[in-house]
Chains A and B, each alone.
Chain A
């Protein structure tokens, strides 16, 4: 099955700083999503981005499908951005729709 690698595994930022989270994957995808898991365990859907670039406020994401990576940008970080960020995806072959998750990037934003 498809392999998903996220980096860095941990990230500590000062409030107001910018950051880039990366997700590499091993095969073509037809679904790629970024999630934020907050301290209460909820998975918040950030982006559906199998290709291209999207922006939502201080967050933006870019997926370069031909080079098999996706980036999540967080600008002017706030303490509420803390949590774990997951990318998850589904390849074209085999599976009927289940998402394969990466291990996540744990972000801590300090005031």
Chain B
């Protein structure tokens, strides 16, 4: 069964540095998402992406964040000038269309020191 793959599985970064989290969505999916889960809390939506542009973003997704689909397979989340509170698990997901099931990757655990 096709899977969403995320790299790295764990990223440790100094506060103030930039990080790029990478995702390879399922190949025939057209909608891509990033979610975040702070330790012990629920999963929160960050941003959705379709047709090479952001279709929706949450209040969490401020100017510190950006997403990109640099080629036909990768989908990236960039966090500039990281803060301690950015420490969380970041999940990428994809779906064929809205209303269809979203398939999640295994997540990237981001630790900001």
Interface residues of A (CB under 8 A from B): 30-31, 33, 35, 41-43, 45, 48, 50, 86, 88, 90, 95-104
Contact of A101 with B44 in the complex, beta carbons under 8 Å? yes
Whether B103 contacts A41 by the Cβ 8 Å rule is no
**Residue B95 lies at the interface, judged by CB distance under 8 Å to chain A:** yes
A35 and B31 within 8 A (CB): no
A97 and B99 contact, CB distance less than 8 A: yes
Is B75 on the interface with A (CB-CB < 8 A)?
no
A31-B99, A45-B103 in contact; A97/B44 too (CB < 8 A)? no
Number of residues of chain B lying within 8 A (CB) of chain A: 27
Contacts A96-B50, A98-B48, A98-B58; is A45 near B42 (CB within 8 Å)? no
* CB neighbours of B100 from chain A (8 A): 31, 48
Number of A-B contacts (CB under 8 A): 65
CA distance A104 to B44 in the complex (A): 12
B contact residues vs A (CB 8 Å cutoff): 31, 33, 35, 37, 41-45, 48, 50, 55-56, 58, 89, 91, 95, 98-104, 106-107, 109
In contact, B89 and A97 (Cβ under 8 angstroms):
no
Q: Are B109 and A88 in contact (CB under 8 A)?
A: no
Choose from B33, B43, B101, B107 the contact partner of A45 (Cβ within 8 Å). B101
